[in-house]
Amino acid sequence: MPKRFVSIWFKYLLTDREAIRLKSLRELPVAFTEADHGRMLVMTMNALAEQSGIRPGITVADARVIAPGIQLFEHKPGRNIKLLKGLAEWCLRYTPLVMVDPPDGLLLDVTGCTHLKGGEAGFLKDLTGRLKGLGYTTRPGMADTIGCAWAVARCAESGLIVPPGAQRNALMPLPPASLRLGLDLLIKLRELGFYQVGSFIHLPKSVLKRRFGGNMVLRLYQALGQEAEFLLPLKEPVPYTERLALLEPIRTREVIENTVHGLIDTLCKRLYGEGLGLRSALLTYCRIDGKSGHLTIGTNHPSQRTDHLFKLFALQFDQIAPGLGIELFILDATKTEPASDKQNLLWNGKPGADSEEIAELLDNVGARVGKDHIHRYLPQEHHWPERAAGNTTDLAKSPESEWPEDKIRPVQLLEPPEPIEAMALTPDYAPRQFVYRHERHIIVQADGPERINHEWWIEDGGYRDYYVAEDEEGMRYWLFGTPNDLPGQTRRWFIHGYFP
């Protein structure tokens, strides 16, 4: 299939949009100005201003004389690029490959897309018609190459759709400016009497390069398709994506649910065939009024189950505002991972954190309370108790070490440890009683001490002597005392956790 490109030229990019926003300006000549060497010059204007005789580059004073009713606005740098990016995102409903072409255009790779609108003529008619409804005056061109499409969009009087392989014939009657050449080179060509591309298109490549430079040859041969030119899309296409353009706009929730379910099923079958599972996905819906919306989901385990993924999206369906109707759905698998072989799990009677059942349960909970509220604890290579465990949201992450099974540890740790008032018979013994939160506890038995040292590579010195202490009511606590082996040093006591 030959490549087909569309170049869209926004003849009055800024001003038509501004006139639509400011309804009072729709029937008035409008121009945007910019300071240049202390003079205010007209940079761009709308159709009414152009019909009044205003041209780019004239001074503001002259513009006011030519068109007394003209409305002037100061141009903001980068405003056209920002607007072009927004228009490029809007054009994603026609093709996933859209590129901004400053200062006033867009480039689209429509290979394999035109049949969705009844052919190339219907495709351009629908695209330009809807842009006109949004307030833009556009001129499109379609050809096998970016350069040829750009040329016919801006310079051809007719024949905006160039048949496949007919770039040479389409370019010959056009002026040299259609090749995207610099102003100095255009002046030189005009002085030499080259008013059309056909005047020099047959000259040998070596002659053109010697007389006009390498850029002249590059642009000509790119337009002819004899030199490569690549389109750099605004958004990098996702490898696993599904698009569904609807024949009629839909609005009801039931139809939206059925459509999304079918789209997810198509994507899951494709992932299953390649041994992959979905970890995160983005659902984009485009409305007929030009607006769009997004829904995102994430999973804790690579999933290929249509019903499970659909439930995650369904929790957010209340956020969808269909307006006058939705005409396009795009489902992108933004992250995929190899799916585990389920046969290997048949003999595993103890499902772990990476089991599909637990992962789907956590997906449903996370969709309601947020993924940031779900985590698991893994052992860390640290001596200090509050550093010995770390949390992660990744169910597939392997621990750095095993949980210590030969040491007694409480189920609940206090972070940070809380000070207590304790009394011990001797400094190296467990306390006989302690006061915690204004309540006195009498210790009937205690086990310890277990000395835990600081990691010398993290901070200087220090240790703790831990005791498992049980009071008169049968409650058990994890207490520790600070060092007291230096002159003038007094042992302080803390409670660090509870035992069931």
Pairing of β 30-36 and β 71-74: parallel
CA 70 to each of CA 31, 116, 352: distance values in angstroms, whole numbers, following the listed order: 7, 42, 73
Determine the Cα–Cα distance for residues 129 and 244; give it in Å rounded to an integer: 21
Determine the Cα–Cα distance for residues 375 and 101; give it in Å rounded to an integer: 45
Q: What is the pLDDT of residue 348?
A: 43
- Residues with pLDDT less than 70, the chain: 1, 13-26, 340-357, 393, 395-396, 457-461, 485-488
- Provide CATH code, domain 1-237: 3.30.70.270
* Those residues with Cβ within 8 angstroms of residue 166's Cβ, 6 or more apart along the chain or in another chain: none
- Provide CATH code, domain 241-347: 3.30.1490.100
Residue showing tokens 């306390």: 431
Average of per-residue pLDDT values in the chain = 85
Q: Which residues pair with 279 in a beta bridge?
A: none
Q: What is the pLDDT of residue 487?
A: 66
pTM for the model stands at 0.61
Q: What is the pLDDT of residue 343?
A: 40
Q: Which residues pair with 126 in a beta bridge?
A: none
Task: Return residue ranges of the chain for CATH 3.30.1490.100.
Answer: 241-347
Determine the Cα–Cα distance for residues 500 and 478; give it in Å rounded to an integer: 11
Model pLDDT for residues 86-141, shown as the tens digit of each residue: 899 899 889 989 999 988 899 999 998 898 888 999 999 999 999 988 878 899 99
Q: What is the pLDDT of residue 354?
A: 57
Task: Return residue ranges of the chain for CATH 3.30.70.270.
Answer: 1-237
Question: Which helix (H) or strand (E) covers residue 84, if one does?
Answer: helix 79-90
* Those residues with Cβ within 8 angstroms of residue 451's Cβ, 6 or more apart along the chain or in another chain: 463, 464, 465, 466
Determine the Cα–Cα distance for residues 193 and 196; give it in Å rounded to an integer: 9
The one-letter amino acid at 59: T
Cβ atoms of 353 and 339 within 8 Å: the answer is: no
